[in-house]
Chain A
Amino acid sequence: MKDFIIPTSMDDITNDRDMGTPASKSLEMVTLTIDGFEVTVPAGTSVMRASNEAGIEVPKLCATDSLEAFGSCRLCVVEIEGRRGTPASCTTPVAEGMVVNTHTDKIKKIRKGVMELYISDHPLDCLTCAANGDCELQDMAGAVGLRDVRYEGTENHFEVRQNGEVNPKYIPKDDSNPYFAYDPAKCIVCSRCVRACEETQGTFALTIEGSGFNSRVSFGAKSDDALHSDCVSCGACVAACPTATLTEKSVIELGTPERSVITTCAYCGVGCSFKAELNGDEVVRMTPWKHGKANRGHSCVKGRFAYGYASHSDRILSPMIRDSIDQPWREVSYEEAIDFTSKKLRDIQAKHGQKSIGGITSSRCTNEETYLVQKMIRAVFGNNNTDTCARVCHSPTGYGLKTTFGTSAGTQDFDSVEDTDVVIVIGANPTDGHPVFASRLRKRLRQGAELIVIDPRRIDLLETPHMGKGHHLPLRPGTNVAILSAISHVIVTEGLHDEAFIRERCDWDEFSEYAAFISDERHSPEAMQLLTGVDAQALREAARAFARGGNGAIYYGLGVTEHSQGSTTVMAIANLAMMTGNIGRRGVGVNPLRGQNNVQGACDMGSFPHELPGYRHVSDDATRDIFEDLWGVTLDAEPGLRIPNMLDAAVDGTFKGIYIQGEDILQSDPDTHHVAAGLAAMDCVIVQDLFLNETANYAHVFLPGSTFLEKDGTFTNAERRINRVREVMKPKNGYADWQVTMLLANAMGANWTYTHPSQIMDEIAATTPGFANVTYEMLEERGSVQWPCNDNAPDGTPIMHIDGFVRGKGQFIITEYIATDERTGPRFPLLLTTGRILSQYNVGAQTRRTDNVVWHDEDLLEIHPQDAENRGIKDGDFVKLASRQGETSLRATITDRVSPGVVYTTFHHPDTQANVITTDFSDWATNCPEYKVTAVQVSQSNGPTDWQKDYNEQAAQSRRILPAAE
């Protein structure tokens, strides 16, 4: 007999067993005896989980360790000495000295009796069932030794017809959702799906309809099917279902998977861990990995289901070249393409100078790939003309947080939200942009945390079911700094600031100066109300709630950064966190919600023209020495060109060639006309991508990209977590992106010899202090690690600035509100702001090539009923959207989510071309474009604008591909 069992840790990433109930976080330990074995577990652990810890699996159907115990299936009953009856082990917590028997004759009889009942209402079509071999009901029937079902089962839910009559209890399969099917005939009413929708996702789309034997899982009202219900298709219910009732259509079609690889989602900055499950090299499904520390076993519709683009027929798998963009593409070998490209780039440099070419790294690619691209530009191109798409999203975060705290990154891990008491969400729409984080936040809101949303739109988070108090400050776009100043004004003038924290962690004199500035009456909510449109009293209440509410956390997105005062807003947020003492522990902090999967990593890896990896300025001799020694070259000490500067220089004729890896600047960057003009002026535009994207219309070389499923590497998410990306299948295009970059670099004279991305990571670790201890071996062992990870923080750093700010003292910055130059006027009286929708991702290159289009197949313009009526616009009308820059057209949807005077749209569809409208105003510090404020006019329209027509024509011409020579 074993007399002591050491519990398996909840973070043991090799243990994928379902422990039945969630782990207890108690520090108090309790020892009990189960079937004669002594086991010690945290207080609050269920008897079921304790049994599992002891290696004794208690049969179960309604329990799963991602959900709170429910106690409905009655299979997990046990006997406990000194207690009456047969309690369910899932709902019974352990007690000191408890003696549990899980397998007595009485228990065995009950279990068999319960299973006999289950099977009496279940079709016996196991051999042809999609869950065959992956069905808990099947497993349990085996586990309890059920050999006979003696009931006649006259009333049942699975027979379509009985004695020639329609069986009124039979409900047909619901195939409406493109990704999963709901087959009520197989349902055992364990409520795992309903609970997953509530507890894990927080949408409450599912319920149990009816009672008793008529209890059926339902997507809301009787008329609702899965697709037309509140369901957001996150897949939590499908993952939770123990039978074939909710099954991925891919499994129904392809069969149960036979192998799996753990990897990281390549959509947003949450960085969810997934188990890619395959048959051969065909992905059967992606299931969220329970040990993923960012997602804790949850997922959204994109990561879970929208991976079909990887095998979409639009994908370009062979390199293509052409001499000019009016020619059709010619498919060539990699050899020819690389030779063509390297010669062209070297020719340009010979003619126009060393600095006449450059490149853009991708926030969609791995750290290793990004590192290589900037290395190629700096060491092989011989200049610092490298930039990245973070330029257009979170560059102000980097600047603002480095200035105030000393580190260009968020301060927390996602787990931190579990301890948050009051949260400010500003300029972010997490339920759509960062859905898995939103679910974790909503869970905390349901537990009573207070929510303050600062956003021009009434975002869905404000409508979280069962949440506590919520505040909405619907500001006029462009007045973020004014709002934050007013909040700080209330806190400082009402004495709600945390003096002890400020004295210890910041410079008191500096704060005093700031306090004098912010206390000025012009920053009062009453004075600011004219500018922001936000009710002064509502703002005061929100400010008090944040200052007094306990652990206060601030989460923000591009609605903060993509403004002419983006950097100022980030610093105002940092001020607010510091003055309320909300830095340096769990539950607090400043948390930028990064847009792309690896935007943090792309910044870390030295993608910016002025910074080498690790945010060290190119003018710093010591840093340059490190890289010069290793790379054997001399590096330029002058910063290179930013993206807008490259385009300007191209128009001026001094910048002629660009290598763009995994970014569609024509669609994603502001002022499309200007981007197009810049690209058209270049002699060699190289696009490396999965598809012929919009930028490729102006390209001379197309290098096929590889998907995240086809390569090894790492992504760094919004919480600085370095997650492994693993090669799930071989690249369909022949090479991983890093290999293609290496081919080009070597063709241009480099002598790189990497054979695996781990060697690139070793080089990153050797040169970059924050990554010093990061190795692939470590990531294998731990799953992930948050930088900084070095000798000072060997386990990584979930929460930053615990004992002091990285820069020493936290710095208060005076944040004067300066209105943007983009103003409304008689011709353009409305303010346009932009955002995302759940089912689509950014420019939509991937999600548009999946069934996600059933939820959103075109961009819509949200307009307030009042503004619509003034213009004679009805819901669904085609409207013209015009700004000082240009005009486009799209359909209108009338909603009071937006205030009068504000219109809103998404930018997922190239047909819409929202960036034809946006201006070239940008952040004063980082050039981050002001996407979020454009003065516009909306008017009735008959259809696409001339620009849209011309554009589509040019695109069609440009996308022609010559048939391969045979």
Chain B
Amino acid sequence: MKIYVPLDSAAKALGADNVADALATAAKEAGKDVEIIRTGTRGMLWLEPLVEVETDAGRTGFGPCLPSDAAAIIEGAANHPKALGLVDDLPWMKRQTRLTFQRVGVIDPLDLADYEAHGGLTGLRNAIAMSPADVVQHVTDSGLRGRGGAGFPTGIKWKTVHDAEAPQKYIVCNADEGDSGTFADRMIMEGDPFTLIEGMIIAGLAVGATKGYIYLRSEYPDAINIINQAIAVAEKAGVLGDDVLGSGRAFHLENRVGAGAYVCGEETSLLNSLEGKRGVVRAKPPLPALEGFLGRPTVVNNVISLATVPVIMEKGAQYYADFGLGRSKGTIPLQIAGNVKFGGLFETAFGLPLGEIVNDLAGGTRSGAPVKAVQVGGPLGAYFAPHQFDTPFGYEEFDGAGGLIGHAGLTIFDDSADMLGMARFAMEFCAVESCGKCTPCRIGAVRGVETIDRIAAGDADAIPLLTDLCDTMKDGSLCALGGFTPYPVMSALTLFPDDFAAQKKAAE
């Protein structure tokens, strides 16, 4: 009997380890030979800890489990109140297009054989058989864009590095997933680390880089642990090293842990931090693709971008490009959070209208009160009001609506949310996380908090000042931290003017 219990830190936070222990004890007591396999998460966080039992028909789920459910599960009670039936048949699973996350929640993240059995390393083998330029072309043709938020075409970035001449090039994976309400990077690193490693190796072979670094935030101890183990496994198996899968080509990978600065998720700050310097933003140009880590040509890609490369190389560029909408090709792992009934990770092709995600997939608010706003793209993303719910999920479409998709995190608020308070939080977040290099962000964010406090205190003159400040920060800031903070602030001010109305506070 095989039982699958997630080791994902979200599941662990909900007691998955205790459940796994209870299952082992129960199996022993029942005298049953049970193999407990720890996996990543399926992404249905309201069902965690989600225990899956292998049956002839497939894996049937129980959740959310408590340790007290263990005995019943071992006994195989299909009519247990927490029995969910076949996991693959759950609507959340059936409606997804799982490409990047195809193995997450399915396999033991450190079992390289299982990884291969589920299609792993095929993309790498295909890439080894191709010329580097062809691999770059393939990634370009797939339409893959930077999933970190900027949406820059990955293939174009790779081509710049491929075409640059230098004695050494680097692949750097940005795993400094600092946006609140986002967790796709973590889930894939904890649930299927080899796909990230494989993606980085393919990138290395494509652009001529023999050394890669993962810059992983210190707040993800489980991911750090799993990535470190996965690298060791891959090295031992000859996937990483001087002779990648016998190709005669080298790729070495190192995991580096960040030190807690949000701004180090910005690629140039990340490079500074990786070099051991202060994590401050560098001006661009020079582009990191030409002068990146230690001044050498460097691919800096987000975890999801890199982890998506293997499936593209496995199934073909066209296969991937056929999903999606307009210039937003392929799939996107939505991370649904906040005041929501069904939160978690949902990988789907681009193009789903925002309202369908919020009301249908996520089932509306957990509180049951009407949805007031959705913040898309992390703490620097714009708020969307229900009247904008027909906006299809795509880079250009959200840009056109005055927002951004960012790393595809969605945080849902009900009508009790104080949008002035949310605007203030955005400025405060920027003030706390600013690296301090450029003036609009360094001073502007602090002034933003003060100005919003004036509005709250009934000073109507401060509203045009806040608008001017947001213009200065948006157009004047050096990087996206200061440049995007105006998105939540201005969208809150524009969409919910009543929350900023002077009389509101004055009347109280």
Q: A: which residues have CB within 8 A of B? A: 69-74, 77, 85-86, 88, 90-93, 106, 109-110, 113-114, 116-118, 120-121, 150-155, 188-189, 191, 207-208, 210-215
Contacts and interface: CB of A to CB of B under 8 A. Distances in A.
Contact of A74 (B436, B439, B445, B454): B439
B9 interface: no
Interface stretch (B217-225, B412-420, B469-477): B469-477
| Secondary structure class of chain A's binding surface, majority of residues | loop
Nearest to B263: A211
Contact of A212 (B285, B442, B477): B442
B167 to A, nearest CB: 11
Chain B CB within 10 Å — which of A188, A211, A212 has the most?
A212
Given A91-B283, A114-B440, A211-B436, 5 more contacts: A70-B283, A109-B471, A116-B472, A117-B472, A212-B434
B432 interface: yes
Contacts of B444: 117
A113 B472 contact: yes
Nearest to B447: A151
B436 A214 contact: yes
B358 to A, nearest CB: 30
B434 A74 contact: no
Contact of B443 (A69, A120, A208): A120
30 contacts: A69-B283, A70-B283, A71-B283, A72-B438, A72-B439, A72-B478, A74-B439, A77-B475, A86-B476, A90-B283, A91-B285, A93-B285, A113-B468, A113-B469, A114-B440, A114-B472, A117-B444, A121-B443, A150-B461, A151-B451, A153-B450, A208-B436, A211-B436, A212-B431, A212-B445, A212-B446, A213-B434, A213-B443, A213-B446, A214-B436
A85 B278 CA distance: 27
A153 B476 contact: no
B426 to A, nearest CB: 14
B285 to A, nearest CB: 7
B73 to A, nearest CB: 49
Chain A CB within 10 Å — which of B284, B440, B472 has the most?
B472
A344 to B, nearest CB: 68
B291 interface: no
A113 B486 CA distance: 14
Contacts of B442: 189, 212-213, 215
B465 interface: yes
B270 to A, nearest CB: 15
Interface residues of B, number: 37
| Secondary structure class of chain B's binding surface, majority of residues | helix
A114 B478 CA distance: 12
Nearest to A214: B436
B447 A153 contact: yes
Interface string B147-167: 000000000000000000000
A213 B454 contact: no
B194 to A, nearest CB: 36
B447 A110 contact: no
A419 to B, nearest CB: 19
B437 interface: yes
A215 B263 CA distance: 14
A773 B396 CA distance: 70
Contacts of B397: none
Contacts of B445: 212-213
Contact of B446 (A71, A88, A90, A155): A155
Contacts of B179: none
B447 A85 contact: no
Contacts of A77: 475-476
Nearest to A69: B283
Interface in B387-438: 431-438
B261 interface: yes
Interface of B: 261, 263, 278, 280, 283-285, 431-447, 450-451, 454, 461, 465, 468-469, 471-472, 475-478
Given A93-B285, A152-B450, A213-B431, A117 B436 contact: no
B465 A211 contact: no
Contacts of B454: 152
A155 B450 contact: yes
Contact of B477 (A74, A90, A151, A208): A74
A645 to B, nearest CB: 58
Nearest to A115: B439
Contact of A106 (B285, B431, B439, B475): B475
Nearest to A85: B475
A113 B477 CA distance: 11
Given A72-B437, A88-B283, A151-B447, A114 B432 contact: no
A150 B434 CA distance: 22
B291 to A, nearest CB: 12
Contacts of A85: 475
A212 B284 contact: no
A105 B451 CA distance: 24
Contacts of A212: 431-436, 441-442, 445-446
Chain A CB within 10 Å — which of B263, B285, B437, B443 has the most?
B443
B422 to A, nearest CB: 20
A213 B284 contact: no
A787 to B, nearest CB: 40
B435 A211 contact: yes
| Shortest Cβ-Cβ A-B pairs, 5 listed | A113-B472, A71-B283, A215-B436, A212-B434, A91-B283
A137 to B, nearest CB: 11
Contacts of A121: 443
B431 A150 contact: no
B222 to A, nearest CB: 27
Contact of B476 (A90, A114, A155): A114
Contacts of A155: 446, 450
Contacts of B433: 212
Given A151-B450, A152-B450, A74 B476 contact: yes
Contacts of B451: 151
A91 B454 CA distance: 36
Chain B CB within 10 Å — which of A88, A188, A211 has the most?
A211
Contacts of A153: 447, 450
B439 A117 contact: yes
Contacts of B472: 109-110, 113-114, 116-117
A7 B209 CA distance: 41
Contacts of B285: 91-93
A681 to B, nearest CB: 65
Nearest to A117: B443
A567 B381 CA distance: 73
Contacts of B440: 74, 113-114, 117
A174 B214 CA distance: 42
Contacts of B431: 212-213
Nearest to A213: B446
A530 to B, nearest CB: 41
A5 B475 CA distance: 31
B465 A86 contact: no
A210 B279 CA distance: 11
A113 B441 CA distance: 12
A248 to B, nearest CB: 26
A445 to B, nearest CB: 16
Contacts of A74: 438-440, 476-478
B491 to A, nearest CB: 20
Contacts of A151: 447, 450-451, 465
Nearest to B435: A211
Contacts of A208: 278, 280, 436
Contacts of A189: 436, 442
A62 to B, nearest CB: 9
Contacts of A110: 471-472, 475-476
A682 B432 CA distance: 77
Contacts of B450: 151-155
A120 B280 CA distance: 23
A120 B447 contact: yes
A118 B471 CA distance: 16
A93 B287 CA distance: 12
Given A77-B475, A211-B261, A212-B434, A118 B439 contact: yes
